[in-house]
Amino acid sequence: MAPSANRPLHQPERFGRLWWLPSHGEGNGLGDAGWAPVADVAATVVTPLLAELRAAGVPAHAAPVTRRPGPSRQRTSPDRAWCRVWVGTSAYSRAEEMLRVRLPVLLRRAQP
């Protein structure tokens, strides 16, 4: 069996945002030519997280995931939904730093 050929995709921006991202999510209104997943977070913090990323100038998109992150890969319970967050590759390092600083604050605010 012959190995599959690796063909780089030229001009991915011509396919638009949904080439990279699931269509059933929500974004923060900023665009980028490429996207990469950065974190799986509780659905309760997605809206404020997208707003924080927008304020920091980081393009972001989030969509629900059907499995819980981590080694157990258990089914997500309805009371603990998760979302995968993608960020624009041009701002990935800025997104990581923002998540390191702001995500703990957002999680504390989201707790009942």
The full set of domain ranges for the chain reads: 17-110
Axis-axis angle for helices 92-110, 46-55 (nearest 10): 140
Which residue pairs from 67-75 have beta carbons closer than 8 angstroms and sit at least 24 positions apart in sequence? 69/40
Calculate what percentage of the chain has a pLDDT beyond 70: 70
Report, in angstroms and rounded to the nearest whole number, the Rg of the chain calculated over CA atoms: 16
The CA dihedral of 12, 55, 93, 50, to the nearest 10 degrees, is: -70
Model confidence pLDDT, tens digit, residues 77-94: 555 789 999 999 999 999
Model confidence pLDDT, tens digit, residues 16-52: 554 568 778 899 999 998 899 999 999 999 999 999 9
Cβ neighbors of 5 (< 8 A, separation 6 or more) are none
Spell out where the chain has E strands. Answer: 26-27, 35-42, 60-65, 82-88
pLDDT at 15 over 50: no
Is the entire prediction scored with pTM above 0.85?
no
